[in-house]
Amino acid sequence: MADLKLGYKASAEQFGPRELVELAVLAEEHGLDSATVSDHFQPWRHKGGHAPFSLAWMAAAGERTERILLGTSVLTPTYRYNPAVIAQAFATMGCLYPDRVMLGVGTGEALNEIATGYTGEWPEFKERFARLRESVELMRALWTGERTDFDGQYYRTVGASIYDVPKGGIPVYIAAGGPLVARYAGRAGDGFICTSGKGMDLYTEKLMPAV
């Protein structure tokens, strides 16, 4: 049986970037195993909220810590980000902090994407899920370090290569709030991130059995 590991969720809506870094340092000092950060362009509540950039925070926390796993919980690599650029960013961090970086991904929230220029109706789940699957496929291809010609429904690369890639690529943890994506996480992910604050039946009867 795998050992139980405990982590710190760096709530970027609640604290500013400097304080969040110091909290990650404290998490490591107190024996926690990971620190993961939300990736929101703006907080759930505007008054008194925060929204530091997750990747800048990860790099700063990486420089201040030595052991804990760092990652996103979660980032959407499908709309305001191009998945190829996210693949490059995480490959770089994986080289800087070997075996200490993971990418947590999800299908996205209108809150973040519409504010940064997405136009039209927010896509239905079917399209968001298709984009997520395609983005994960593309990022994994790029993490091989090989020349990648990718011609998907939503994303395309021509002769793209990432030149600095950690051995084995980057672990991808997939967030799910229902059984369909949970099954995908079990099939294609390196880890699974549960939605929080729901009734216990969601976890015991739907999410965990699907994984």
Active-site residue numbers? 40, 109
The conformation of residue 3, written as its DSSP 8-state character, comes to P
How far is C-alpha 188 from the chain's CA centre? 14
Q: How far apart are CA 196 and CA 79, in angstroms?
A: 23
Contact 134, 125 (CB under 8 A): no
Q: Are residues 183 and 210 in contact, defined by beta-carbon separation less than 8 angstroms?
A: yes
Q: Tell me how far CA of residue 92 lies from CA of 18, 113, 128, 142, in angstroms.
A: 22, 25, 26, 12
